[in-house]
Chain A
Protein backbone atom coordinates (compact mmCIF):
# COMPACT_ATOMS: atom_id res chain seq x y z
CA UNK A 1 0.00 0.00 0.00
CA UNK A 2 2.85 2.37 0.92
CA UNK A 3 4.40 1.90 -2.53
CA UNK A 4 1.07 2.61 -4.17
CA UNK A 5 0.65 5.80 -2.10
CA UNK A 6 4.13 6.95 -3.13
CA UNK A 7 3.47 6.15 -6.78
CA UNK A 8 0.18 8.01 -6.72
CA UNK A 9 1.78 11.00 -4.94
CA UNK A 10 4.52 11.19 -7.57
CA UNK A 11 1.94 11.08 -10.34
CA UNK A 12 0.50 14.40 -9.10
CA UNK A 13 3.82 16.21 -9.64
CA UNK A 14 3.46 16.66 -13.45
CA UNK A 15 -0.12 17.88 -12.91
CA UNK A 16 1.00 20.42 -10.30
CA UNK A 17 3.73 21.53 -12.70
CA UNK A 18 1.09 21.86 -15.46
CA UNK A 19 -1.17 23.95 -13.21
CA UNK A 20 1.72 26.27 -12.36
CA UNK A 21 2.49 26.72 -16.09
CA UNK A 22 -1.18 27.40 -16.82
CA UNK A 23 -1.38 30.05 -14.09
CA UNK A 24 1.93 31.61 -15.15
CA UNK A 25 0.94 31.95 -18.80
CA UNK A 26 -2.63 32.94 -17.96
CA UNK A 27 -1.42 36.38 -16.93
CA UNK A 28 0.98 36.71 -19.83
CA UNK A 29 -1.75 35.91 -22.36
CA UNK A 30 -3.66 39.01 -21.33
CA UNK A 31 -3.18 42.09 -23.49
CA UNK A 32 -0.99 44.76 -21.88
CA UNK A 33 1.57 44.90 -19.10
CA UNK A 34 1.20 42.03 -16.56
CA UNK A 35 2.31 44.38 -13.75
CA UNK A 36 -0.46 46.84 -14.64
CA UNK A 37 -2.97 43.96 -14.86
CA UNK A 38 -1.97 42.69 -11.41
CA UNK A 39 -1.90 46.11 -9.80
CA UNK A 40 -5.34 47.05 -11.11
CA UNK A 41 -6.61 50.12 -12.96
CA UNK A 42 -6.31 52.49 -9.99
CA UNK A 43 -2.68 51.67 -9.12
CA UNK A 44 -0.01 54.37 -9.06
CA UNK A 45 3.10 54.13 -11.31
CA UNK A 46 5.17 53.38 -8.16
CA UNK A 47 2.93 50.43 -7.26
CA UNK A 48 3.19 49.09 -10.81
CA UNK A 49 6.99 49.43 -10.73
CA UNK A 50 7.16 47.60 -7.38
CA UNK A 51 5.14 44.70 -8.79
CA UNK A 52 7.32 44.70 -11.92
CA UNK A 53 10.41 44.32 -9.72
CA UNK A 54 8.76 41.59 -7.62
CA UNK A 55 7.76 39.59 -10.69
CA UNK A 56 11.14 40.13 -12.30
CA UNK A 57 9.47 41.23 -15.54
CA UNK A 58 12.72 42.73 -16.84
CA UNK A 59 14.38 39.29 -16.61
CA UNK A 60 14.12 36.28 -18.98
CA UNK A 61 10.85 34.29 -18.99
CA UNK A 62 12.46 31.21 -17.41
CA UNK A 63 13.74 33.28 -14.47
CA UNK A 64 10.29 34.85 -14.16
CA UNK A 65 8.76 31.38 -14.03
CA UNK A 66 11.31 30.32 -11.39
CA UNK A 67 10.40 33.35 -9.25
CA UNK A 68 6.72 32.58 -9.77
CA UNK A 69 7.23 28.96 -8.62
CA UNK A 70 9.12 30.19 -5.56
CA UNK A 71 6.23 32.44 -4.59
CA UNK A 72 3.73 29.68 -5.30
CA UNK A 73 5.51 27.25 -2.98
CA UNK A 74 5.36 29.88 -0.20
CA UNK A 75 1.69 30.50 -1.05
CA UNK A 76 2.58 34.10 -1.77
CA UNK A 77 -0.05 34.92 -4.38
CA UNK A 78 0.26 38.69 -4.20
CA UNK A 79 -2.38 41.22 -3.20
CA UNK A 80 -5.91 41.74 -4.42
CA UNK A 81 -6.14 44.61 -6.91
CA UNK A 82 -9.47 45.60 -5.33
CA UNK A 83 -8.93 45.32 -1.58
CA UNK A 84 -5.11 45.28 -1.40
CA UNK A 85 -5.40 42.37 1.07
CA UNK A 86 -3.13 39.35 0.56
CA UNK A 87 -4.83 36.97 -1.89
CA UNK A 88 -4.22 33.93 0.28
CA UNK A 89 -6.13 35.60 3.14
CA UNK A 90 -9.08 36.41 0.87
CA UNK A 91 -9.21 32.86 -0.48
CA UNK A 92 -8.69 31.25 2.93
CA UNK A 93 -11.56 33.27 4.42
CA UNK A 94 -13.98 31.95 1.77
CA UNK A 95 -12.78 28.33 1.61
CA UNK A 96 -14.64 27.00 4.72
CA UNK A 97 -17.97 28.25 3.34
CA UNK A 98 -17.46 26.43 0.04
CA UNK A 99 -16.35 23.24 1.79
CA UNK A 100 -19.37 23.40 4.12
CA UNK A 101 -21.68 23.80 1.13
CA UNK A 102 -19.99 21.00 -0.85
CA UNK A 103 -19.95 18.54 2.06
CA UNK A 104 -23.60 19.15 2.97
CA UNK A 105 -24.59 18.80 -0.70
CA UNK A 106 -22.67 15.53 -1.07
CA UNK A 107 -24.29 14.28 2.16
CA UNK A 108 -27.77 15.10 0.89
CA UNK A 109 -27.02 13.59 -2.51
CA UNK A 110 -25.87 10.31 -0.91
CA UNK A 111 -28.88 10.28 1.39
CA UNK A 112 -31.19 10.30 -1.61
CA UNK A 113 -29.05 8.85 -4.41
CA UNK A 114 -27.85 5.62 -2.80
CA UNK A 115 -31.28 4.37 -1.57
CA UNK A 116 -32.85 5.47 -4.90
CA UNK A 117 -30.20 3.54 -6.84
CA UNK A 118 -30.68 0.45 -4.66
CA UNK A 119 -34.47 0.53 -5.09
CA UNK A 120 -34.10 0.96 -8.85
CA UNK A 121 -31.65 -1.97 -8.99
CA UNK A 122 -33.71 -4.44 -6.97
CA UNK A 123 -36.79 -3.69 -9.10
CA UNK A 124 -35.22 -3.15 -12.54
CA UNK A 125 -37.48 -2.11 -15.43
CA UNK A 126 -40.44 -1.44 -13.10
CA UNK A 127 -42.09 1.92 -12.45
CA UNK A 128 -39.78 2.52 -9.44
CA UNK A 129 -36.72 2.07 -11.66
CA UNK A 130 -38.15 4.34 -14.38
CA UNK A 131 -39.12 6.97 -11.79
CA UNK A 132 -35.66 7.19 -10.23
CA UNK A 133 -33.73 6.95 -13.50
CA UNK A 134 -35.95 9.66 -15.00
CA UNK A 135 -35.41 11.86 -11.95
CA UNK A 136 -31.67 11.26 -12.31
CA UNK A 137 -31.77 12.32 -15.97
CA UNK A 138 -33.77 15.44 -15.06
CA UNK A 139 -31.14 16.27 -12.44
CA UNK A 140 -28.32 16.01 -14.99
CA UNK A 141 -30.19 18.15 -17.52
CA UNK A 142 -31.33 20.89 -15.14
CA UNK A 143 -29.33 24.13 -15.00
CA UNK A 144 -28.28 24.40 -11.36
CA UNK A 145 -28.80 28.18 -11.29
CA UNK A 146 -32.34 27.82 -12.62
CA UNK A 147 -33.22 25.15 -10.05
CA UNK A 148 -31.86 27.48 -7.36
CA UNK A 149 -34.10 30.31 -8.55
CA UNK A 150 -37.13 28.01 -8.72
CA UNK A 151 -36.49 26.86 -5.14
CA UNK A 152 -36.27 30.50 -4.05
CA UNK A 153 -39.61 31.25 -5.78
CA UNK A 154 -41.23 28.26 -4.02
CA UNK A 155 -39.71 28.26 -0.54
CA UNK A 156 -38.83 31.92 -0.03
CA UNK A 157 -41.21 33.98 -2.17
CA UNK A 158 -44.36 31.83 -2.03
CA UNK A 159 -44.16 29.84 1.22
CA UNK A 160 -41.83 32.16 3.21
CA UNK A 161 -40.25 29.08 4.83
CA UNK A 162 -36.59 29.65 4.10
CA UNK A 163 -34.30 32.64 3.47
CA UNK A 164 -33.58 33.43 -0.19
CA UNK A 165 -29.85 33.90 0.37
CA UNK A 166 -26.96 34.87 2.61
CA UNK A 167 -25.53 33.13 5.67
CA UNK A 168 -26.15 33.18 9.42
CA UNK A 169 -28.09 30.07 10.40
CA UNK A 170 -28.56 26.46 9.33
CA UNK A 171 -31.69 27.57 7.48
CA UNK A 172 -29.51 29.53 5.06
CA UNK A 173 -27.70 26.32 4.14
CA UNK A 174 -30.78 24.29 3.11
CA UNK A 175 -31.63 25.76 -0.29
CA UNK A 176 -28.03 26.06 -1.60
CA UNK A 177 -27.27 22.49 -0.44
CA UNK A 178 -30.45 21.13 -2.05
CA UNK A 179 -29.65 22.91 -5.30
CA UNK A 180 -26.10 21.63 -5.41
CA UNK A 181 -27.16 18.13 -4.31
CA UNK A 182 -29.61 17.87 -7.23
CA UNK A 183 -26.63 18.50 -9.48
CA UNK A 184 -24.79 15.34 -8.34
CA UNK A 185 -27.53 13.08 -7.03
CA UNK A 186 -28.22 11.93 -10.59
CA UNK A 187 -24.70 10.51 -11.01
CA UNK A 188 -24.82 8.77 -7.63
CA UNK A 189 -28.24 7.21 -8.37
CA UNK A 190 -27.09 5.97 -11.79
CA UNK A 191 -23.84 4.51 -10.49
CA UNK A 192 -25.54 2.85 -7.49
CA UNK A 193 -28.14 1.30 -9.78
CA UNK A 194 -25.55 0.00 -12.27
CA UNK A 195 -23.21 -1.40 -9.57
CA UNK A 196 -26.05 -2.97 -7.62
CA UNK A 197 -27.51 -4.65 -10.73
CA UNK A 198 -24.08 -6.12 -11.42
CA UNK A 199 -23.52 -7.19 -7.79
CA UNK A 200 -26.98 -8.76 -7.59
CA UNK A 201 -26.22 -10.93 -10.64
CA UNK A 202 -22.95 -12.29 -9.21
CA UNK A 203 -22.47 -15.89 -8.03
CA UNK A 204 -21.91 -14.85 -4.40
CA UNK A 205 -25.37 -13.25 -4.32
CA UNK A 206 -26.94 -16.41 -5.77
CA UNK A 207 -25.07 -18.44 -3.13
CA UNK A 208 -26.32 -16.12 -0.36
CA UNK A 209 -29.89 -16.50 -1.63
CA UNK A 210 -29.59 -20.29 -1.92
CA UNK A 211 -28.44 -20.40 1.71
CA UNK A 212 -31.90 -19.07 2.53
CA UNK A 213 -30.80 -15.63 3.70
CA UNK A 214 -33.42 -12.90 3.84
CA UNK A 215 -33.54 -10.64 0.75
CA UNK A 216 -32.62 -7.56 2.86
CA UNK A 217 -29.49 -9.31 4.11
CA UNK A 218 -28.57 -10.38 0.57
CA UNK A 219 -29.02 -6.85 -0.76
CA UNK A 220 -27.37 -4.91 2.05
CA UNK A 221 -24.73 -7.26 3.42
CA UNK A 222 -23.66 -9.05 0.25
CA UNK A 223 -24.52 -6.93 -2.79
CA UNK A 224 -24.24 -3.38 -1.43
CA UNK A 225 -20.95 -4.04 0.32
CA UNK A 226 -19.38 -5.08 -2.98
CA UNK A 227 -21.13 -2.38 -4.98
CA UNK A 228 -19.86 0.35 -2.65
CA UNK A 229 -16.41 0.63 -4.25
CA UNK A 230 -17.49 2.26 -7.53
CA UNK A 231 -20.13 4.26 -5.63
CA UNK A 232 -17.49 5.74 -3.32
CA UNK A 233 -15.36 6.60 -6.33
CA UNK A 234 -18.21 8.41 -8.02
CA UNK A 235 -19.09 10.27 -4.81
CA UNK A 236 -15.48 11.43 -4.55
CA UNK A 237 -15.22 12.42 -8.17
CA UNK A 238 -18.47 14.37 -7.98
CA UNK A 239 -16.71 16.69 -5.58
CA UNK A 240 -15.03 18.32 -8.58
CA UNK A 241 -18.37 18.76 -10.27
CA UNK A 242 -19.64 20.33 -7.06
CA UNK A 243 -16.84 22.88 -7.10
CA UNK A 244 -17.92 23.91 -10.60
CA UNK A 245 -21.57 23.98 -9.54
CA UNK A 246 -20.70 25.91 -6.39
CA UNK A 247 -19.69 28.92 -8.50
CA UNK A 248 -23.25 29.22 -9.79
CA UNK A 249 -25.03 28.15 -6.60
CA UNK A 250 -23.07 30.62 -4.48
CA UNK A 251 -23.97 33.40 -6.91
CA UNK A 252 -27.69 32.54 -6.84
CA UNK A 253 -27.84 32.38 -3.04
CA UNK A 254 -25.30 35.16 -2.30
CA UNK A 255 -23.28 32.55 -0.41
CA UNK A 256 -19.87 34.00 0.48
CA UNK A 257 -17.70 31.18 -0.83
CA UNK A 258 -14.83 30.73 -3.26
CA UNK A 259 -17.10 30.44 -6.30
CA UNK A 260 -18.60 33.85 -5.72
CA UNK A 261 -15.14 35.24 -5.05
CA UNK A 262 -13.99 34.04 -8.50
CA UNK A 263 -17.01 35.53 -10.26
CA UNK A 264 -16.68 38.87 -8.44
CA UNK A 265 -12.97 38.92 -9.24
CA UNK A 266 -13.56 38.17 -12.94
CA UNK A 267 -16.12 40.97 -13.13
CA UNK A 268 -13.69 43.35 -11.38
CA UNK A 269 -10.70 42.04 -13.41
CA UNK A 270 -8.91 41.28 -10.14
CA UNK A 271 -6.40 38.82 -11.62
CA UNK A 272 -4.31 38.03 -8.51
CA UNK A 273 -7.47 36.74 -6.77
CA UNK A 274 -8.60 34.85 -9.90
CA UNK A 275 -5.17 33.15 -10.04
CA UNK A 276 -5.22 32.32 -6.33
CA UNK A 277 -8.76 30.97 -6.30
CA UNK A 278 -8.16 28.82 -9.38
CA UNK A 279 -4.97 27.46 -7.81
CA UNK A 280 -6.78 26.52 -4.60
CA UNK A 281 -9.67 24.95 -6.54
CA UNK A 282 -7.17 22.93 -8.61
CA UNK A 283 -5.27 21.78 -5.50
CA UNK A 284 -8.50 20.84 -3.76
CA UNK A 285 -9.63 18.83 -6.77
CA UNK A 286 -6.28 17.01 -6.98
CA UNK A 287 -6.35 16.25 -3.24
CA UNK A 288 -9.87 14.83 -3.42
CA UNK A 289 -9.01 12.70 -6.46
CA UNK A 290 -5.89 11.47 -4.68
CA UNK A 291 -7.93 10.63 -1.58
CA UNK A 292 -10.50 8.73 -3.67
CA UNK A 293 -7.76 6.76 -5.45
CA UNK A 294 -6.15 5.82 -2.15
CA UNK A 295 -9.50 4.84 -0.63
CA UNK A 296 -10.23 2.78 -3.72
CA UNK A 297 -6.89 0.99 -3.41
CA UNK A 298 -7.54 0.41 0.30
CA UNK A 299 -10.96 -1.12 -0.38
CA UNK A 300 -9.94 -3.15 -3.43
CA UNK A 301 -6.48 -4.75 -3.01
CA UNK A 302 -6.36 -5.70 -6.73
CA UNK A 303 -5.74 -2.03 -7.59
CA UNK A 304 -2.53 -1.93 -5.52
CA UNK A 305 -1.02 -4.90 -7.25
CA UNK A 306 -1.77 -3.80 -10.83
Chain B
Protein backbone atom coordinates (compact mmCIF):
# COMPACT_ATOMS: atom_id res chain seq x y z
CA UNK B 1 0.00 0.00 0.00
CA UNK B 2 1.59 3.27 -1.14
CA UNK B 3 0.89 6.22 1.15
CA UNK B 4 -1.35 8.97 -0.24
CA UNK B 5 1.42 11.59 -0.38
CA UNK B 6 3.63 9.31 -2.47
CA UNK B 7 0.71 8.68 -4.83
CA UNK B 8 0.05 12.39 -5.10
CA UNK B 9 3.73 13.03 -5.84
CA UNK B 10 3.68 10.35 -8.54
CA UNK B 11 0.72 12.07 -10.25
CA UNK B 12 2.57 14.67 -12.31
CA UNK B 13 -0.55 16.59 -13.33
CA UNK B 14 -1.70 16.91 -9.73
CA UNK B 15 1.76 17.99 -8.65
CA UNK B 16 1.81 20.64 -11.38
CA UNK B 17 -1.61 21.83 -10.24
CA UNK B 18 -0.44 22.09 -6.64
CA UNK B 19 2.65 24.04 -7.66
CA UNK B 20 0.43 26.45 -9.60
CA UNK B 21 -1.77 26.92 -6.53
CA UNK B 22 1.24 27.39 -4.29
CA UNK B 23 2.46 30.18 -6.58
CA UNK B 24 -0.97 31.86 -6.40
CA UNK B 25 -1.21 31.56 -2.60
CA UNK B 26 2.35 32.87 -2.10
CA UNK B 27 1.61 35.75 -4.52
CA UNK B 28 -1.57 36.63 -2.62
CA UNK B 29 0.20 36.45 0.74
CA UNK B 30 3.20 38.55 -0.25
CA UNK B 31 1.44 40.91 -2.69
CA UNK B 32 2.70 44.12 -0.98
CA UNK B 33 6.28 42.82 -1.21
CA UNK B 34 5.94 41.72 -4.84
CA UNK B 35 4.31 45.00 -5.92
CA UNK B 36 5.07 47.79 -3.46
CA UNK B 37 2.98 50.48 -5.23
CA UNK B 38 -0.77 51.13 -5.15
CA UNK B 39 -2.34 48.89 -7.85
CA UNK B 40 -5.40 51.14 -8.08
CA UNK B 41 -3.57 54.47 -8.51
CA UNK B 42 -4.30 55.81 -12.03
CA UNK B 43 -1.72 57.45 -14.28
CA UNK B 44 -3.50 58.55 -17.45
CA UNK B 45 -0.24 59.62 -19.11
CA UNK B 46 0.71 55.94 -19.46
CA UNK B 47 -2.75 54.58 -20.35
CA UNK B 48 -2.77 51.43 -22.52
CA UNK B 49 1.06 51.30 -22.55
CA UNK B 50 2.24 48.09 -24.19
CA UNK B 51 4.27 45.44 -22.27
CA UNK B 52 7.91 46.43 -21.81
CA UNK B 53 10.90 45.43 -19.66
CA UNK B 54 9.91 48.06 -17.10
CA UNK B 55 6.24 47.05 -17.12
CA UNK B 56 6.17 43.36 -18.20
CA UNK B 57 2.38 43.15 -18.71
CA UNK B 58 1.78 46.75 -19.78
CA UNK B 59 -0.75 49.24 -18.39
CA UNK B 60 -4.54 49.35 -18.48
CA UNK B 61 -6.93 52.05 -19.72
CA UNK B 62 -6.25 54.17 -16.62
CA UNK B 63 -2.48 53.68 -16.74
CA UNK B 64 -2.43 51.19 -13.87
CA UNK B 65 0.08 48.35 -13.86
CA UNK B 66 -1.61 45.16 -15.09
CA UNK B 67 0.98 43.03 -13.30
CA UNK B 68 0.35 44.85 -10.03
CA UNK B 69 -3.40 44.46 -10.39
CA UNK B 70 -3.07 40.75 -11.24
CA UNK B 71 -0.87 40.25 -8.15
CA UNK B 72 -3.41 42.00 -5.90
CA UNK B 73 -6.26 40.36 -7.82
CA UNK B 74 -5.00 36.97 -6.63
CA UNK B 75 -5.97 38.05 -3.10
CA UNK B 76 -9.50 38.92 -4.22
CA UNK B 77 -9.99 35.76 -6.31
CA UNK B 78 -8.64 33.41 -3.64
CA UNK B 79 -10.74 35.17 -1.00
CA UNK B 80 -13.81 34.64 -3.20
CA UNK B 81 -12.90 30.98 -3.81
CA UNK B 82 -12.45 30.30 -0.08
CA UNK B 83 -15.56 32.29 0.87
CA UNK B 84 -17.72 30.54 -1.71
CA UNK B 85 -16.74 27.01 -0.68
CA UNK B 86 -17.23 28.00 2.98
CA UNK B 87 -20.83 29.02 2.20
CA UNK B 88 -21.32 25.72 0.34
CA UNK B 89 -19.64 23.67 3.08
CA UNK B 90 -21.25 25.26 6.13
CA UNK B 91 -24.78 25.12 4.72
CA UNK B 92 -24.65 22.25 2.21
CA UNK B 93 -22.78 19.66 4.29
CA UNK B 94 -25.05 19.75 7.40
CA UNK B 95 -28.16 19.75 5.21
CA UNK B 96 -26.82 16.80 3.19
CA UNK B 97 -26.00 14.90 6.39
CA UNK B 98 -29.45 15.54 7.89
CA UNK B 99 -31.22 14.71 4.62
CA UNK B 100 -29.39 11.42 4.17
CA UNK B 101 -29.45 10.36 7.82
CA UNK B 102 -33.07 11.09 8.76
CA UNK B 103 -34.74 10.40 5.41
CA UNK B 104 -38.56 10.71 5.29
CA UNK B 105 -40.23 14.09 5.23
CA UNK B 106 -37.06 15.99 6.18
CA UNK B 107 -35.24 14.38 3.25
CA UNK B 108 -38.17 15.07 0.91
CA UNK B 109 -38.29 18.76 1.87
CA UNK B 110 -34.53 19.30 1.55
CA UNK B 111 -34.35 17.39 -1.73
CA UNK B 112 -37.19 19.32 -3.36
CA UNK B 113 -35.52 22.60 -2.36
CA UNK B 114 -32.27 21.22 -3.81
CA UNK B 115 -34.09 20.23 -7.02
CA UNK B 116 -35.38 23.78 -7.34
CA UNK B 117 -31.90 25.26 -7.01
CA UNK B 118 -30.53 22.66 -9.42
CA UNK B 119 -33.26 23.57 -11.92
CA UNK B 120 -31.08 26.54 -12.82
CA UNK B 121 -27.60 26.27 -14.29
CA UNK B 122 -25.14 27.34 -11.54
CA UNK B 123 -24.00 30.56 -13.21
CA UNK B 124 -27.59 31.64 -13.93
CA UNK B 125 -28.56 31.05 -10.32
CA UNK B 126 -25.63 33.19 -9.17
CA UNK B 127 -26.69 35.83 -11.70
CA UNK B 128 -30.28 35.82 -10.43
CA UNK B 129 -29.09 36.15 -6.84
CA UNK B 130 -26.80 39.06 -7.72
CA UNK B 131 -29.83 40.73 -9.31
CA UNK B 132 -31.55 40.55 -5.93
CA UNK B 133 -28.64 41.11 -3.53
CA UNK B 134 -26.74 43.68 -5.56
CA UNK B 135 -23.13 43.91 -6.70
CA UNK B 136 -19.90 43.87 -4.65
CA UNK B 137 -17.44 41.41 -3.14
CA UNK B 138 -19.66 40.21 -0.27
CA UNK B 139 -22.70 39.66 -2.48
CA UNK B 140 -20.58 37.90 -5.11
CA UNK B 141 -19.40 35.43 -2.45
CA UNK B 142 -22.94 34.90 -1.14
CA UNK B 143 -24.49 34.50 -4.62
CA UNK B 144 -21.89 32.10 -5.98
CA UNK B 145 -21.81 30.33 -2.60
CA UNK B 146 -25.57 29.70 -2.66
CA UNK B 147 -25.26 28.26 -6.17
CA UNK B 148 -22.76 25.72 -4.72
CA UNK B 149 -24.99 24.61 -1.82
CA UNK B 150 -27.17 22.11 -3.78
CA UNK B 151 -24.05 20.36 -5.11
CA UNK B 152 -22.78 19.75 -1.57
CA UNK B 153 -26.23 18.65 -0.36
CA UNK B 154 -26.53 16.05 -3.14
CA UNK B 155 -22.98 14.80 -2.70
CA UNK B 156 -23.10 14.48 1.10
CA UNK B 157 -26.61 13.01 1.12
CA UNK B 158 -25.58 10.27 -1.31
CA UNK B 159 -22.52 9.36 0.76
CA UNK B 160 -24.47 9.52 4.04
CA UNK B 161 -27.07 7.08 2.69
CA UNK B 162 -24.38 4.46 2.22
CA UNK B 163 -22.31 5.25 5.35
CA UNK B 164 -25.31 5.18 7.72
CA UNK B 165 -25.83 1.49 6.88
CA UNK B 166 -22.33 0.61 8.12
CA UNK B 167 -21.94 -1.55 11.22
CA UNK B 168 -20.06 1.09 13.20
CA UNK B 169 -22.95 3.53 12.81
CA UNK B 170 -25.43 0.85 13.86
CA UNK B 171 -23.22 0.07 16.86
CA UNK B 172 -23.07 3.73 17.86
CA UNK B 173 -26.85 3.95 17.59
CA UNK B 174 -27.29 0.77 19.67
CA UNK B 175 -25.07 2.28 22.37
CA UNK B 176 -27.47 5.21 22.58
CA UNK B 177 -25.14 7.79 21.04
CA UNK B 178 -26.90 11.07 20.22
CA UNK B 179 -27.79 11.68 16.55
CA UNK B 180 -25.65 14.82 16.44
CA UNK B 181 -22.60 12.87 17.62
CA UNK B 182 -23.27 10.08 15.12
CA UNK B 183 -23.62 12.63 12.31
CA UNK B 184 -20.52 14.66 13.05
CA UNK B 185 -18.21 12.13 14.70
CA UNK B 186 -19.03 8.92 12.84
CA UNK B 187 -20.54 9.80 9.48
CA UNK B 188 -18.86 13.11 8.58
CA UNK B 189 -15.25 11.85 8.80
CA UNK B 190 -16.21 9.02 6.45
CA UNK B 191 -17.65 11.32 3.79
CA UNK B 192 -14.73 13.77 3.92
CA UNK B 193 -12.98 12.35 0.83
CA UNK B 194 -15.63 13.39 -1.73
CA UNK B 195 -16.12 16.68 0.13
CA UNK B 196 -12.39 17.44 -0.17
CA UNK B 197 -12.41 16.67 -3.90
CA UNK B 198 -15.52 18.79 -4.46
CA UNK B 199 -13.98 21.65 -2.49
CA UNK B 200 -10.92 21.74 -4.71
CA UNK B 201 -12.98 21.57 -7.92
CA UNK B 202 -15.53 24.01 -6.44
CA UNK B 203 -12.84 26.64 -5.79
CA UNK B 204 -11.96 26.60 -9.49
CA UNK B 205 -15.62 26.95 -10.45
CA UNK B 206 -16.03 29.76 -7.90
CA UNK B 207 -13.18 31.72 -9.49
CA UNK B 208 -14.72 31.21 -12.95
CA UNK B 209 -18.22 32.27 -11.80
CA UNK B 210 -16.97 35.31 -9.89
CA UNK B 211 -14.79 36.34 -12.82
CA UNK B 212 -17.81 35.94 -15.10
CA UNK B 213 -19.87 38.24 -12.88
CA UNK B 214 -16.98 40.72 -12.70
CA UNK B 215 -16.66 40.62 -16.49
CA UNK B 216 -20.36 41.48 -16.87
CA UNK B 217 -19.92 44.39 -14.46
CA UNK B 218 -22.15 42.90 -11.77
CA UNK B 219 -19.50 41.29 -9.57
CA UNK B 220 -16.67 42.92 -7.64
CA UNK B 221 -16.63 46.61 -8.49
CA UNK B 222 -13.70 48.81 -9.57
CA UNK B 223 -11.23 50.00 -8.41
CA UNK B 224 -10.83 46.66 -6.54
CA UNK B 225 -8.48 44.61 -8.72
CA UNK B 226 -10.52 41.56 -9.74
CA UNK B 227 -9.45 39.51 -12.75
CA UNK B 228 -12.89 39.22 -14.38
CA UNK B 229 -13.61 42.93 -14.00
CA UNK B 230 -10.13 43.72 -15.39
CA UNK B 231 -10.92 41.59 -18.42
CA UNK B 232 -14.27 43.31 -18.87
CA UNK B 233 -12.77 46.79 -18.67
CA UNK B 234 -10.15 45.80 -21.26
CA UNK B 235 -12.77 44.69 -23.77
CA UNK B 236 -13.36 48.07 -25.46
CA UNK B 237 -9.61 48.30 -26.19
CA UNK B 238 -9.36 44.84 -27.74
CA UNK B 239 -8.48 46.17 -31.19
CA UNK B 240 -5.54 48.43 -30.31
CA UNK B 241 -4.47 47.21 -26.83
CA UNK B 242 -5.26 43.47 -26.63
CA UNK B 243 -2.82 42.98 -23.73
CA UNK B 244 -5.30 44.62 -21.32
CA UNK B 245 -7.75 41.72 -21.71
CA UNK B 246 -5.22 38.95 -22.39
CA UNK B 247 -3.21 38.77 -19.14
CA UNK B 248 -6.06 38.80 -16.57
CA UNK B 249 -7.64 35.94 -18.57
CA UNK B 250 -4.42 33.95 -18.31
CA UNK B 251 -4.38 34.53 -14.55
CA UNK B 252 -7.92 33.11 -14.28
CA UNK B 253 -7.10 30.18 -16.55
CA UNK B 254 -4.01 29.03 -14.62
CA UNK B 255 -5.71 29.42 -11.24
CA UNK B 256 -8.71 27.32 -12.34
CA UNK B 257 -6.38 24.82 -14.00
CA UNK B 258 -4.48 24.50 -10.72
CA UNK B 259 -7.64 23.75 -8.74
CA UNK B 260 -8.91 21.30 -11.39
CA UNK B 261 -5.61 19.40 -11.61
CA UNK B 262 -5.35 19.20 -7.82
CA UNK B 263 -9.00 18.11 -7.55
CA UNK B 264 -8.45 15.38 -10.15
CA UNK B 265 -5.30 14.28 -8.31
CA UNK B 266 -7.13 14.16 -4.99
CA UNK B 267 -9.85 12.09 -6.63
CA UNK B 268 -7.26 9.58 -7.84
CA UNK B 269 -5.93 9.25 -4.30
CA UNK B 270 -9.06 9.47 -2.17
CA UNK B 271 -11.74 7.83 -4.31
CA UNK B 272 -11.66 4.08 -3.62
CA UNK B 273 -12.74 3.32 -7.19
CA UNK B 274 -9.49 4.80 -8.50
CA UNK B 275 -7.22 3.10 -5.94
CA UNK B 276 -6.52 -0.02 -7.97
Q: Are A19 and B215 in contact (CB under 8 A)?
A: no
Q: Which among A68-76, A204-212, A239-247 touches the partner chain?
A: A239-247
Question: A140–B123 Cα gap in the complex (Å)?
Answer: 14
Which residues of A lie under 8 Å from residue B131 when comparing CB positions?
Answer: 26, 266, 271, 274
Q: B58 on the interface (CB 8 Å rule)? A: no
Question: A26–B132 Cα gap in the complex (Å)?
Answer: 7
Question: A140–B201 Cα gap in the complex (Å)?
Answer: 11
Which residues of B lie under 8 Å from residue A26 when comparing CB positions?
Answer: 128, 131-132
- Give the Cβ gap from A264 to chain B, nearest Cβ, in Å: 10
Q: A298 on the interface (CB 8 Å rule)? A: no
Q: Are A267 and B249 in contact (CB under 8 A)?
A: no
Question: A140–B204 Cα gap in the complex (Å)?
Answer: 10
What 1/0 mask marks residues of chain A from 3 to 28 whose CB sits below 8 Å from any chain B CB? 00000000000110011011000100
Which residue of A is nearest B248, CB measured?
A: A146
Q: Are A278 and B128 in contact (CB under 8 A)?
A: yes
Question: A254–B145 Cα gap in the complex (Å)?
Answer: 28
Given known A-B contacts A245-B123, A247-B123, A150 and B260 have beta carbons under 8 A apart: no
Q: A157 on the interface (CB 8 Å rule)? A: yes
Q: B29 on the interface (CB 8 Å rule)? A: no
Question: A281–B126 Cα gap in the complex (Å)?
Answer: 13
Given known A-B contacts A18-B112, A26-B128, A137-B260, A244 and B123 have beta carbons under 8 A apart: yes
What 1/0 mask marks residues of chain A from 142 to 159 whose CB sits below 8 Å from any chain B CB? 111110011011000100
Q: B122 on the interface (CB 8 Å rule)? A: yes
Q: B256 on the interface (CB 8 Å rule)? A: yes
Interface residues of A (CB under 8 A from B): 14-15, 18-19, 21-22, 26, 29-30, 137-138, 140-146, 149-150, 152-153, 157, 240-241, 243-245, 247-248, 251-252, 262-263, 266-267, 271, 274, 278, 281-282, 285-286
Interface residues of B (CB under 8 A from A): 13, 112-113, 115-116, 119-124, 127-128, 130-132, 204, 208, 211-212, 215-218, 228, 231-232, 235, 238-239, 242, 245-246, 248-249, 252-253, 256-257, 260-261, 264
A sample of 25 inter-chain contacts (CB < 8 A) reads A15-B115, A26-B128, A29-B132, A137-B13, A137-B260, A137-B261, A140-B260, A141-B253, A141-B256, A141-B257, A143-B253, A145-B215, A145-B231, A149-B249, A152-B238, A153-B246, A157-B239, A244-B121, A244-B122, A263-B216, A263-B218, A271-B131, A278-B128, A282-B120, A285-B120
